[in-house]
Homo-oligomer: A and B are copies of this chain.
Amino acid sequence: MPITKLRISKRGKEMPASPIRKLIPLSDEAKKRGIKVYHLNIGQPDIPTPVEFMNAVKNYPNKVLEYGNSKGDLRLIQGMVEYYHRKNILVKPENIQITTGGSEALIFSIICISDVGEEIIVFEPFYTNYNSLARVADINLVPVPTKAENGFHLPDKKIIEKKITSKTKGILLATPNNPTGTVFTREEMETIAELAKKYDLFVLSDEVYREFIYEGVHTSIMNIEGIEDRAILLDSISKRYSACGARIGCLVSKNKEVMDTALKLGQSRLCSPSIEQYGAIGALKLPEDYFLAMAEEYKRRRDTCYAELMKIPGVICQKPSGAFYIMVKLPIKDIEAFAKWMLTDFSLNGATTMVAPGPGFYATPGMGKDEARIAYVLNVEDLKKAMRILAKGVEEYNKIKG
């Protein structure tokens, strides 16, 4: 008597495919046809990974590539402590759990603080993988909208407060934000902290773009007083050392129960990749001016990208203060169809531009349909070309489909 029916899980079915990656088959086909594709769809920096990282990897000393400590390589943890001290974030080794990328830091922290069906507040638009990781953990993201007109800054406290229910376990934010580039002010961080205290919530702060600040000052959640037991910092070396493929991140908290649980989660997957941890130990020896030079380069790219966007009639966006993304409203009704068309039907002098469609950055259905995320991760010259192709594409598309 067959009781069940062979099927994959509901959560597996509901999990969204990556909106950033799902157009890749179309870009692969375009490349096969000889079209050059400028990738503004993914936050993959073109900056060489520092030789300090690569040399450490080449000099990995062990003969046996053993399981590492589930908490992370202790030398890496010490390196992170020193890095944070340079940023005036005063943490100790026991406050750090090394994770396999920032993604794992996020899933670990979600599992630490919430059970199935519970809720975490997020600010829309947000990093698209928050959606899929929420499905993995089977919790609900409750979106609070932020607006381009307002520079994607936080709405009034009361609007956030209205979303808090008995199921709410935390507030998740990213500063600088992906996809908006917004750097939240100290006042905004303090507002979040007040809400966390008032409603007994955790605050998860994704600060992987800390080193990419062009105006204003970065405020870490770890430096907001009165929420030491509620603050969980999520971090990654991917962006700041241009080492996305290394899969090295960390979860930082002064809450011992959170750290104990994170370690148990760490044990459940044994350890993070050993050789890349060793590379990260090398990278952490880089002086501060490494970041300054990098931020200058990205500032030039932002300025180029923004200037080119402003030339497109009907565009709405604000100049972002950090990270390396612009979330832009384009004069396009269906951005998904447009992004596909750019890869399948359009090219200018043998080249086209790929962007990430907006809807993937929202939890609210119907939002972001005329928006795209642009990652300004190419050098200024290529970026100019890519943006001009985009501008021409918008013009042509509206002639044909408008």
Residue numbers of A with Cβ under 8 A of B are: 2-6, 8-13, 15-18, 21, 42, 44-49, 53-54, 57-58, 60, 62-68, 70, 100-101, 103-104, 107, 111-116, 118, 129, 132-133, 135-136, 138, 164-169, 198-202, 229-230, 242-247, 257-258, 261, 263-265, 267-276, 279
Contacts and interface: CB of A to CB of B under 8 A. Distances in A.
Contacts of A261: 8-9, 12-13, 15
Contacts of A116: 11, 116, 138
Contact of A49 (B8, B65, B164, B165): B65
Contacts of A243: 65
Contact of A11 (B2, B111, B198, B202): B111
A5 B49 contact: no
A16 B245 contact: no
A160 to B, nearest CB: 14
B279 A275 contact: yes
9 contacts: A12-B111, A13-B261, A15-B261, A17-B264, A44-B67, A49-B65, A54-B60, A65-B245, A275-B276
A379 B245 CA distance: 36
B165 A3 contact: yes
A21 B267 contact: yes
Contact of A45 (B64, B68, B133): B64
Say how many copies of this protein the assembly contains: 2
Contacts of A270: 101, 103, 129, 244, 247
A9 B60 CA distance: 38
Nearest to A241: B65
A180 B310 CA distance: 67
B200 A2 contact: yes
A268 B4 contact: no
A274 B240 CA distance: 17
Contact of A247 (B168, B202, B273): B273
Contacts of A107: 269
A3 B164 contact: yes
A269 B100 CA distance: 9
B57 A275 contact: yes
A72 to B, nearest CB: 12
A129 B266 CA distance: 11
Contacts of A279: 65, 275
Nearest to A200: B6
Contacts of A68: 245
Contact of A230 (B6, B245, B274): B6
Contacts of A65: 49, 53-54, 242-246, 279
